[in-house]
Structure 1
Amino acid sequence: MTSKEEFKYLSGFGSEFATEDPRCPGALPVGQNNPQKCPYGLYAEQLSGTAFTAPRHENKRSWLYRIRPSVIHKPFVPLNVAQYFKHNWNENEPNPNQMRWKPYDIPSSDNVVDFVQGLHTVCGAGDPKARNGIAIHVYLCNTSMVNLCFYNSDGNFLFVPQQGRLKITTEFGKLTVDPNEICVIQQGIRFSIEVEGPTRGYILEVFDAHFQLPYLGPIGANGLANPRDFLTPVAWFEDRDVPEGFRVVTKFQGKLFEAKQLHSPFDVVAWHGNYAPYKYNLEYFMVINATQFDHADPSIFTVLTCPSNKPGVAIADFVIFPPRWAVQDHTFRPPYYHRNCMSEFMGLIKGNYEAKEDGFAPGGASLHSIMTPHGPDYKCFEGASNGELKPVRVADGTQAFMFETSLSLAVTKWGEETCQKLDHTYYECWQPLKKHFDPNWKPE
């Protein structure tokens, strides 16, 4: 969280909010959503994130009261500014190997790149036309979007900034998002991103549904990410004509399109509903951990989940590995060696990841595909196997995260070749692991 917030927020995950810009008191209609004439001569417009007939506890929609309806724009035309932002999962042959990427390059100062131009797809699966699947992207940029906004017709974006603050203007108000915070901008919401120099981060895109808090089960009412710590912007508007044209870019069926209009799209004076962008500070995550023996499954570190139609199986989970205490007795404390029916894409925001302190750097990533074995490197295994088991702090100064999915992810050509950041020596970190088997061993 920034030391001094520039904008005002509402708190609570999935709450029904009502907010208006204080410059126009009374802008929210009283008693109905769409009166014959809205206060201040505004237009009423509903943004629906679910089907009208979705169960009430799942229904997502907000009413926007704006200066002009969003339908006022010229026709959309194809836009080719982000050649590595795509959903072609068949351009490469499958590769089951463990993959690790060195930090992705941010454009140099003599190469001006905004957020839209700086989108690069690393891997993914599924089809946005069928509304099933995910994509994992990185954004690499160094300049702000000017008279330009973006919205995703295909799904939701979960932003994980790694370097550089994001100042995000949305139809619902403004957000500032720093590294070690996350932000979710849902399907259809228009936004523009201002940056302050070299900027890098990760995006998890889901096509199916919306992110929600995981069920807590035996944990009880408290723990993990608490709803009140999620922040949603207060209404803010600008009434600004743009004679030269304001560019509205959409991602539709995996392709980019652009339309122009002669005014700012950020003209929502008031809004109410439960479908809005939000952010969360990862420092507020309440860790649940093992206190007797064994290493608990990583599902206890889930911040947000997008469930599939199969109970207990996620289209995507967003998981973090925050600073915490390790106190287990008679236990190998780091993550265990593992083969999984899920795909695991990891990134590092800061510090050194506990299970691989060498080679996995902030701004880089790793991918362990379905049933591909992975686990601690040689150095980590030897240290954890022979170290004194006293209570110790784990991951201080570090924040690693994981995008986990039940889908089998295909890596793009940019991810495997063009970016030139794939570490082809990654497999070597496990090669020194020794055989310790002793057929004559007897318990003490």
Structure 2
Amino acid sequence: MAYYRRVGTVPPKRHTQFRDDAGKLYYEELMGEEGFSSDSSLLYHRGVPSAIVASEIWELPDQSTVVNHPLKPRHLKLHDLFDADEAKTIDAVTGRRLVLGNGDVRISYVVADEASPLYRNAIGDECVYVEAGTGVVETVFGVLPYRAGDYVLLPRATTHRWVPDVTDGPSRLYPIEANSHIAPPKRYLSKDGQLLEHAPYCERDLHGPTGIHLAEGRDVAVLVKHRGGRHGVVGTRFVYDTHPFDVVGWDGCLYPYTFNIEDFEPITGRVHQPPPVHQVFEGDNFVICNFVPRKVDYHPLAVPVPYYHSNVDSDEVMFYCGGDYEARKGSGIGQGSVSLHPGGHAHGPQPAAIEASLGAEHFEESAVMVDTYRPLELGEGGQAVDDQQYAWVWAGRQA
């Protein structure tokens, strides 16, 4: 999204000499998408940004997946993935457990209570939903504070680290890692990239870095996730001659930012609205939507919960992160649950929820939905917390 920002000190003309007070030249780095043909930013480093002194294998957490076969809807209890009584510190990068994934997107979960290593995802953008907790994400562009309800958007190859504020408890994070870029839906943007009047949020709701975050050091390690290997993703540990956070200034239209789910203005109607009205971001072959507290359908005969629907082109993943989700009452789903409703299976509300919803004027619910256009497979985290009985709840039977 072409939304210009300038932080720190930059020269008046790009690609020209820029020196410190002692006359030493700063090193200019262009960070740009699509081979210099899309959004970019120029960063000015004290040290050489490509100067590495070591490259070693980083063994990633388990990235293997298994096919959802035989085909079933799934209920995954993410809060069971991490034992609150276990005497173990976990960070937001190396502690991630893969829940679902395919060739376009990987969805993980982590409960982080310590600062992460420096990290860079060189495969695609990351959109990390903050279910609970506060802290900061230190980046090469500056510092991003985060709080519950934030989406933290991190462009591909952004060096950063997560620093939870443990006085507020651990940070519960739901990372959505793309193999592409993640951006607002095109239908909400002008031809020049401005969010339009019918969009459910605007540029005022997006919060980027407001100041530089200078750091010094030698032989600094950065964990890099990149393409390759049997599962399409491998890890390398670079050691840099100088600290990557040595940027004195930058400007451009590519940078990390946060957007809080509370700033999403829901689109409602007289009868039930389809899922695209809830869309907040999109990537290649997937979309991200959010369901927020809202006034519901106001036709006198409206049925507020969703109608049964068949995902003929997509798998639907719903992460339930607040309130009561009316359509799922009686299914065992609660906060911290993920439902996977795969293409080829018609799904919808619990039968009793339909009558119970009639006459409702407001739903108090929060959920993050990912729809993918290729089938999702189960990661080790998803397999570990799979509710084996969920598939039969519509029929009211046990397997």
TM-score, L = length of structure 1: 0.79
Measured in 1, the distance between the counterparts of 2:61 and 2:340 equals: 22
Q: Do structure 1's residue 324 and structure 2's residue 294 form an aligned pair? A: yes
Question: How far 1:237 moved relative to its partner?
Answer: 2.6
Equivalence for 2:248: 269
Measured in 1, the distance between the counterparts of 2:94 and 2:206 equals: 29
What is the RMSD of the two structures over their aligned residues, measured on CA atoms?
Answer: 2.2
Measured in 2, the distance between the counterparts of 1:287 and 1:333 equals: 14
TM-score, L = length of structure 2: 0.88
Question: How far 1:150 moved relative to its partner?
Answer: 0.4
Measured in 2, the distance between the counterparts of 1:276 and 1:404 equals: 25
Measured in 2, the distance between the counterparts of 1:335 and 1:79 equals: 44
Measured in 1, the distance between the counterparts of 2:299 and 2:393 equals: 26
Q: Do structure 1's residue 29 and structure 2's residue 7 form an aligned pair? A: no
Question: How far 1:93 moved relative to its partner?
Answer: 6.0
Select the residue among 96, 100, 108 that pairs with 1:123.
100
Select the residue among 140, 151, 168 that pairs with 2:111.
140
Equivalence for 2:230: none
Measured in 1, the distance between the counterparts of 2:336 and 2:11 equals: 46
Question: How far 1:423 moved relative to its partner?
Answer: 0.8
Q: Do structure 1's residue 162 and structure 2's residue 146 form an aligned pair? A: no
1:107/1:71 CA distance change after superposition, 3 Å: farther
CA deviation map 1:310-343 (0-9, x unaligned): xxxxx12111111111223222210111111211
How do residues 26-425 of structure 1 correspond to structure 2 at under 5 angstroms? Answer: 27-30=9-12, 32-40=13-21, 41=24, 42-52=26-36, 54=37, 59-80=38-59, 82-84=60-62, 86=63, 88-89=64-65, 91-92=66-67, 94-104=69-79, 105-108=81-84, 110-126=87-103, 133-145=104-116, 148-195=117-164, 196=166, 197-216=169-188, 221-242=197-218, 245-253=219-227, 254-291=233-270, 294-306=271-283, 308=284, 315-326=285-296, 327-340=298-311, 341-358=313-330, 359-384=332-357, 387=358, 389=359, 392-395=361-364, 398-416=365-383, 419=384, 421-425=385-389
Measured in 2, the distance between the counterparts of 1:69 and 1:212 equals: 33
Measured in 1, the distance between the counterparts of 2:196 and 2:132 equals: 35
Equivalent residues of 1:200, 1:363 under 8 A apart: no
Q: How many residues of Structure 1 are paired with residues of Structure 2 in the alignment?
A: 376
Equivalent residues of 1:106, 1:142 under 8 A apart: no
Equivalent residues of 1:248, 1:261 under 8 A apart: yes
CA deviation map 1:227-262 (0-9, x unaligned): 3311111231324225xx422000011111112235
Measured in 2, the distance between the counterparts of 1:166 and 1:301 equals: 27
1:237/1:180 CA distance change after superposition, 3 Å: closer
Larger radius of gyration: 1
Unpaired runs of 5+ residues, structure 1, are: 1-12, 21-26, 127-132, 309-314, 434-444
Equivalent residues of 1:102, 1:365 under 8 A apart: yes
Equivalent residues of 2:132, 2:149 under 8 A apart: no
